[in-house]
Amino acid sequence: MIDGSADIKARRLPPDLAMWLDSLERWWKQTNNPLNAWEAIFRCLSADPPAPIPAWCLPYLAEAARKITDLKWQVAQRRMPHEQAARKVGAALGIVRQGASAFAQVRKDSDAMHHALDAEHEPKKGGDFVTITIGQESISRTTETWAGRTARRIKKDCNVETDHAVKATLRRGRKLIGLDQTS
């Protein structure tokens, strides 16, 4: 069940599935993370009735299948031990790239999206964020600007140090959730 058309909207899909496929395709184009293609395939095949696999997943699937088939033949021709081939499947699927993990990228992108959404809900004209901490002997109140709070949280959660990195994280998150359409 494969979809040859490039336009998800042209098909009659449940609105929630169409929304997910639109988002997953946007994330795929922005991140090239194969986990987005796998989620799209899962959502399509799990739909009732199953929906066609989106066309944008096909080049990835074809390349992954070619790499896994190559591993199979290397094992069959005794050019590679089967244990080594099994260890290379993650790379063949694009899930492990030069020591990086597609799962780690999902975490980083998810954090960026959450911070971008939080920043969207901040007061646009500034203002203060108040934190009240209740201790055993006292109650303390800390006041900081919303922008300062967001930057501090991004630096902590995303392990970045500079304001430039904070802004880059917010830009990436905004793009991933579709708030920023610039390239």
In sequence order, what DSSP letters do the residues of 72-137 get, joined into one string? Answer: HHHHHTTSS-HHHHHHTHHHHTTSEETTEEHHHHHHHHHHHHHHHHHHHTS-TT--EEEEEEE-SS
What contacts 76, CB < 8 A, 6 or more positions away? none
Q: How many CA atoms lie within 13 A of 61 on its CB side?
A: 13
d(CA 21, CA 172): 19
- The more confidently predicted of residues 8 and 19 is 19
pTM equals 0.74
Q: 3-state class of 144 per DSSP?
A: strand
Q: How many CB atoms lie within 10 A of CB 49?
A: 5
Residue 179: its H or E element: none
d(CA 144, CA 29): 37
- The more confidently predicted of residues 143 and 28 is 28
Write the pLDDT tens digit of every residue in 31-41.
Answer: 999 999 999 99
The residue type at 144: E
Listed by start position, the domains of the chain span: 1-98, 101-176
Q: For residue 128, name the pLDDT band (cuts at 50, 70, 90).
A: low
123-140: average pLDDT = 63
For residue 141, pLDDT over 80 is answered with no
d(CA 162, CA 106): 22
Q: For residue 158, name the pLDDT band (cuts at 50, 70, 90).
A: confident
Q: What's the pLDDT score for residue 9?
A: 47
Residue (of 12, 28, 85) closest to 61 by Cα position: 28
Q: What's the pLDDT score for residue 5?
A: 46
Write the pLDDT tens digit of every residue in 42-86.
Answer: 999 999 999 999 999 999 999 999 999 999 999 999 999 999 999
Q: By the 8 A CB rule, do 2 and 58 touch? A: yes
d(CA 111, CA 137): 35
